[in-house]
Amino acid sequence: MKAKSLPPAIAGEPFVDAREAAYTMNLPMYFLTHAQQRDRLAIPFYRLGRAVRFKLSELADWQRVQGGLPSPAAAGSEVLDA
């Protein structure tokens, strides 16, 4: 049986777990570990079985688009315009 190779995008950069991603990117860990925060902030991630993994280059791009590090207060509440 022949082993299938991974697509170039997946094979090129290693996946990291939430702890390593949070430490490297200087993000609060709950941004990466809580599904609600990942969805609300549109954080790019991959699900490998039950594990959630990240690519550091995609997180860096996400931070640039966000204009830097979102504040934890802004992530937990919606701002309403009057």
The CA–CA distances, whole Å, from 13 to 55, 57, 74 equal 7, 8, 31
**pLDDT, tens digit (0-9, with 9 covering 90-100), for 13-63:** 899 999 999 999 999 999 999 999 999 999 999 999 999 999 999 999 999
Residue 19: per-residue pLDDT: 96
* 11 neighbors 18 (Cβ within 8 angstroms): no
Q: Does residue 74 register a pLDDT over 90? A: no
| H or E, element range at 60 | helix 56-66
Confidence band, pLDDT 50/70/90 cuts, at residue 12: confident
The pLDDT score that the predictor gives to residue 77 is 47
CA-CA distance, 6 to 3, in Å (whole number)? 10
- Please, which pLDDT band fits residue 66 given cuts at 50, 70 and 90? confident
| Pairwise CA distance, residues 40 & 17, whole Å | 19
